[in-house]
Structure 1
Amino acid sequence: MDKRNLSLKPFFSLILSTNIPKAMLIGGLIGSMITTLTGLIIPLLTKNLIDNFSMEMLSVHIIIAISAVFIIQALINGISMYLLAAVGQKIVARLREKMWNKLIRLPVKYFDTTSSGKTVSRVVNDTGVVKDLISDQFPQFISGIISIIGAIIILFILDWKMTLIMFISVPLMIVLMMPLGRRMGKISRKMQDETAAFTGDIQQTLGEIRLMKASNAEQTEKKKGRQGIERLLKLGLREAKVYALIGPLMYLIMMVVIVTIISYGGMRVASQTMTTGELIAFLLYLFQIIMPMTSFAMFFTHLQKAKGATERIIEILDFPLENGQHGLDVDLGHKTLYVKNVSFAYKKEEPVLQDISFKAQPGEMIAFAGPSGSGKTTMFALLERFYEPDSGDIFIGDISIKDISLLSWRSQIGYVSQDSPMMAGTIRENLCYGLEDQSISDEILWKVTKMAYADEFIQSFPDGLDTEVGERGVKLSGGQRQRIAIARAFLRDPKILMMDEATASLDSQSEGIVQQALSRLMEGRTTFVIAHRLSTIVDADQIIFIDQGKITGIGTHHELLETHPLYREFAEQQLT
């Protein structure tokens, strides 16, 4: 980390990886060079005007020519600034696109250990820091460099002695600015981390606003929010102190240089070793150096902030993708699924599943039962390939599912969960979510909603399929969300169906309707079910009882009643 902090290489590598629009960059640089070089001619014209002034020089043609030069310079400068700013905007847009494309392909384990708020902050805030540097500071830096180089060359030609006096200030500025820049870098990294944490807290609280209100937690969240704001304030004030030092120090150094040059130049004019026009020209060139130098201080402080942001962005871009981006395209229909000696742990010292083995014939209903926390949902996560087994393997036919592409595997799996998550948008958008073909006819959509017993309540809405469901589907009831999830599964026509406590949180009336829809959906499909209520799985072809991460029994309902004491105890509690 320290080496990275000292080097700008990661920052430049990241920028270059975004495929910089070269034509716009070159056009912007050429325009900047033209306007800067034109600006460098003006002090020379001023020198000649002062040293050789006469009324004959103020002809209409000369005034028109000078005015035209100024107007053309302004136009070219405007175009140049726009092109360079556009380059910055395009770089950041591509960087954000690169990050977003990476994020949606990261494994679930990344999001298990990283809060969504921090991730959002990386994509929005950290790339915003880079954008500010490239779009706002970089164009000024480029034109400033050209202006300084040109002005210094001309100053050496005009008077090399006075130019050397001016250069005494350069090492002084470097000595003062370097430690301030490093300090700004440290503060910026802390500020970005704290901003990410604060964003995460806000996102979590607003995402669970009902829980917060139901728990009377307003005061708790108020206190936590104030603490986060105060931490940001302290860092902001520390950042302001650095800026407050940089500005006045630059001003002080520049004023000392200007006073020194005017004093020394005045003596040269008095001794007639320099003309008044040369002194004025020298001062004008000096200002063409001073103005960019003051902006350089801001550029390098922004560069330190961008370095800190770059480190966080690279952490995301360097994280390995979810396995299975490429692989076989396999039809899962009419194939037996085998789970062989699978073990898994979220943490190495805490095994969740141990030596799990079973098989599911095509069209069978396989139910998982057992105490809470026994590993049933984790088994589902392995089947969906959210995680990979630590040992053992899962096969479809004679093919390891690791060899099948994620696109092929997940496109043939339908998943209906207990909470039936939905995306903000319309019912239509949620039904078609994830499908390549989004232009599905209303006729087909109404057909699948009817199969899921969802058509009646959708038709009762004024906007029908185009009804907005709200964030996470909050405008719909639990039973309505479940039926839309089932309709979505019908639309995908999956080969394998997975249901995780699909009716656990519904009232008896909704449960009956949803259960009918689920029974219709399960016909002819290999189905895996998790259920705490045994009444929903008594007709399963196999019930796999998992306890403390191990399979302790496999069989039908009647077989387990006879052979498995804990299952029998569950049944006696629930079915009698």
Structure 2
Amino acid sequence: MTHDSGAADAWRLLATLTAGRRMAWLAALWLTMVAALAELAPFWLIYRAIALLVEAPQALGAALPGLAGWLALALVLKYLAYGGAYLLSHHGAYAVMAATRRRLAGHLAEAPLHWLYAQGAGALKQSVIQDVERMEAFLAHHTVEVGAAVLAPLCAAALLWWVDWRLALAVLATGPLAWLGAHWTLRGMGRDHDRFNRASARLDNATVEYVRNMPVMKVFCRAGEGFQLLRRRLHDYYRLTGRITRRTVPGWALFTSMLGAHVLLVLPLGAWLHGRGEAGAADVAAALLLGAGVFRPLLKVSRFFMEMPEIFAGLRRMAPILACRRPPRLPAPHSPPSSAPETLRLSGVGFGYGARAILADVSLTLRPGSFNVLVGPSGAGKTTLAQVVAGVLPPLAGEACIGGRPLAALDDAERARRVAFVTQEVFLFAGTIRDNLCLARPPAPPDDAALHTALRVAQAAELVAALPEGLDTELRELGTRLSGGERQRLAVARALLADTPLLVLDEATAFADSLTQRDFFRALRETYPRKTCLVVAHRLYGIERSDQVLVLEGGRLSGCGDHARLLREHAWYRGMWRCEAENDAWALRRGAEHGGAAHD
């Protein structure tokens, strides 16, 4: 995409986002024009006073009260007009900012998980927070300021032309010279702004990653300079800002200096015309005063053009988010009740990122009320398969159906009624434990009995009971008062409270010990016998009684069956089971050598 086409796309997006508030800005521009005319009144009054002083000094005293009255009226009119213009522009800008953030949040809510992960938290935060704020500041201020900066010089130039066209030309001659000098020295700034914004987004991503990994850095006593990615991003960022600053400052200084150079032309010309009797002293004084104000407002216009590349870059970053939509949902004539037992089937499912295949021709069936465990080596695609089963990741090939209906045909609300999903990365919001658990059922919060049942099954009942205020204990954002295992247990309890027919747990017991995992599997099956479960596990403890074990290797299902069958027929599963059994026996023998059984 060329820079010009990118700017055109940004203008179109800005026009779309501000479509509902154009009348407010038209009214603001009209008031700005009134204010610009009122701003010229003092110059006209000074011109009249100088003319009287030169031509009829005795009449100046009598005229001064009238001139002062008109000056006060002009100042009041200017104040009211600018105040109204800024009020309208800010009101419209804040409305656009709120509407834009709602739109961005709505599109992010529909975006596929893999797309969100690919963007990076820092870049998304920059689009939703900083880029929208820049757009708001642009709309709130530049609508009035740029309008005034354009209208005021036009009115001043018209008044100068009326006073003396030759003096007017002398004043206006400095403008094109200043513009040519700035254009020559500041060329290519649009590309520099694009580079700056990309570097800023990369720095934001690295900073978010560094902050999230701060506990690890503390453990190893490594400060910011020990985080190599952050160091590189900071180095790139400051090197680029230094280069942009070295290019910008000389051009900006040249531009501002040349805008005030009208005196070098107007004063000699005015003196020559006055000596020839072709221009009065009041005419020359008016040219000098108005000349200083003709181009000074254009400094705001120049700043506007310098900020526009940054605004355009922000709009271009918003564009992919606003264009991101959930894939079209397939029509379905009938949707069975969410509480009815449903079979989930995957037929020839494939998924990948570009040329890298993650899943290939995966077909499986999860019967209603069955307990299914998905195992396999690291990098086999287990998390991706779990996301496909949960309906948050649409397959690129094949089909995933629940109750005979494609998951792609479900909207988010219906999918949430049918499937509960616990990811590896647990997020708890700032608030009480009760608030976090009730998030699963916002319309009708569960009673305490349901809460305690879910906590008991998730092996979190003792944890909550030991807290000072139980369910009403306040948590900080991300649940920083809890360990990783405790956060996972609360996340599992929250998913159980959703009361969905299908539950998908992606490594949800990774922080649990073997006995806790075994107790959890047993309680889950006994308490929710009708719930269909798919559990991604990296340990095999407690899965002996599962209805179906699925072995995923290299993105393909290499084994499917119960525990006994896979021990007989599947080499990888048999080896993993033997390895874990030997580790367990080794731990017991080591414990016996020290006078007792090991409990870890």
Q: By the TM > 0.5 criterion, same fold?
A: yes
Partner of 2:216: 211
After TM superposition, the score normalised by the length of structure 1 is 0.89
8 Å Cα contact 1:5-1:307 kept in structure 2: no
Deviation at 1:357, TM superposition (A): 2.0
The partner residue of 1:366 within 361, 372, 391 is 372
Q: State the distance in 1 between where 2:444 and 2:288 align.
A: 66
Q: State the distance in 2 between where 1:96 and 1:458 align.
A: 36
Partner of 2:35: 35
Change (3 A) 1:280 1:560: same
Tell me which moved more, 72-81 or 361-370.
72-81
Q: State the distance in 1 between where 2:74 and 2:330 align.
A: 59
Partner of 1:259: 264
Partner of 1:165: 170
Alpha carbon RMSD of aligned pairs, Å?
3.0
Alignment map for 1:97-496 (pairs within 5 Å): 97-218=102-223, 220-221=225-226, 224-318=229-323, 320-323=324-327, 330-332=336-338, 333-348=340-355, 350-417=356-423, 420-433=426-439, 435-437=441-443, 445=451, 448-449=454-455, 452=458, 454-496=460-502
SS at match of 2:512: coil
Partner of 1:14: 13
Deviation at 1:286, TM superposition (A): 2.0
* Matched AA of 2:215: R
Q: State the distance in 1 between where 2:570 and 2:256 align.
A: 84
Q: State the distance in 2 between where 1:459 and 1:316 align.
A: 43
Q: State the distance in 2 between where 1:52 and 1:38 align.
A: 22
Q: State the distance in 2 between where 1:226 and 1:485 align.
A: 35
8 Å Cα contact 1:51-1:277 kept in structure 2: yes
Q: State the distance in 1 between where 2:245 and 2:189 align.
A: 10
Task: Give identity over the alignment, percent.
Answer: 23
Change (3 A) 1:303 1:323: same
Q: State the distance in 1 between where 2:571 and 2:160 align.
A: 96
Deviation at 1:32, TM superposition (A): 1.2
Deviation at 1:511, TM superposition (A): 4.1
Tell me which moved more, 195-204 or 497-506.
497-506
* Matched AA of 2:327: N
8 Å Cα contact 2:100-2:132 kept in structure 1: yes
Q: State the distance in 1 between where 2:142 and 2:359 align.
A: 54
Change (3 A) 1:418 1:251: closer
SS at match of 1:338: strand
Q: Does 1:555 align with 2:561?
A: yes
Deviation at 1:516, TM superposition (A): 5.1
Q: Structure 1: give runs of 5+ residues left out of the alignment.
A: none
Change (3 A) 1:177 1:390: same
Change (3 A) 1:215 1:559: same
Deviation at 1:496, TM superposition (A): 0.4
Change (3 A) 1:177 1:521: farther
Deviation at 1:525, TM superposition (A): 0.9
Tell me which moved more, 163-172 or 285-294.
163-172
Q: State the distance in 2 between where 1:82 and 1:242 align.
A: 36
Deviation at 1:59, TM superposition (A): 5.8
Change (3 A) 1:68 1:351: closer
Aligned residues: 573
SS at match of 1:245: helix
Once the two structures are superposed, residues 185-214 of structure 1 have per-residue CA deviations (whole angstroms, 9 ceiling, x without a partner) of 222222111111111111101101122233
SS at match of 2:272: helix
Q: Does 1:48 align with 2:18?
A: no
Q: State the distance in 2 between where 1:41 and 1:294 align.
A: 22
Change (3 A) 1:440 1:556: closer
SS at match of 1:494: coil
Deviation at 1:43, TM superposition (A): 2.3
Once the two structures are superposed, residues 313-334 of structure 1 have per-residue CA deviations (whole angstroms, 9 ceiling, x without a partner) of 324333x323256865553522
Q: State the distance in 2 between where 1:541 and 1:447 align.
A: 23
* Matched AA of 2:11: F
Q: State the distance in 2 between where 1:107 and 1:544 align.
A: 25
Deviation at 1:483, TM superposition (A): 3.1
Q: State the distance in 1 between where 2:353 and 2:309 align.
A: 37
Deviation at 1:455, TM superposition (A): 4.5
